[in-house]
Amino acid sequence: MTNLFSKMIQVGIKTSPLQAILLFVNQAIAKFFQPKWESYLYVILPHPTEAKILMLSERGSYFLPHVRVNKSIDYANFITIKSEIEPELGFSVNILYYASQDYDKSKRQIC
């Protein structure tokens, strides 16, 4: 608690001990009652020499390789995305950019 208060003073935020306590309690509550999220990371893997991409098939349907992650992921954080994708796919990938981003909170929140 004192550590949190001293950090607030170090960055120039003037606050009372009561405000520091309330801030700490709010952060603790938010940590335990955050909604759960899921993210789907789809991968476009081009063929090295031909104009093709890797598609997977299952029961007559074709789809891009993908990974479902049970947390919210910042799509600009390529290091985190890479660390989630590689173990699932079983090989190393180089992320150049994200081709599309669909950020609909209502679809990602797990009730």
Say what the pLDDT of residue 5 is: 46
So where are the chain's domains?
2-32, 36-110
The answer to whether 5 and 17 are in contact (CB under 8 A) is yes
Say what the pLDDT of residue 10 is: 46
Taking CB atoms within 8 Å and a gap of at least 24, the contacts of 5-11 are none
Token pair recorded at residue 89: 């796919």
Q: What is the DSSP letter of 46?
A: B
Place of tokens 């797990």: 110
Say what the pLDDT of residue 7 is: 47
* DSSP-based three-state secondary structure for 90: coil
Give Cβ neighbours of residue 68 (< 8 Å, ≥ 6 apart).
38, 39, 40, 41
User: pTM score, two decimals?
Assistant: 0.54
Tell me which of 2-16, 38-52, 55-69 is least confident: 2-16
Looking at the predicted structure, is the pLDDT value of residue 17 above 70?
A: yes
Say what the pLDDT of residue 42 is: 85
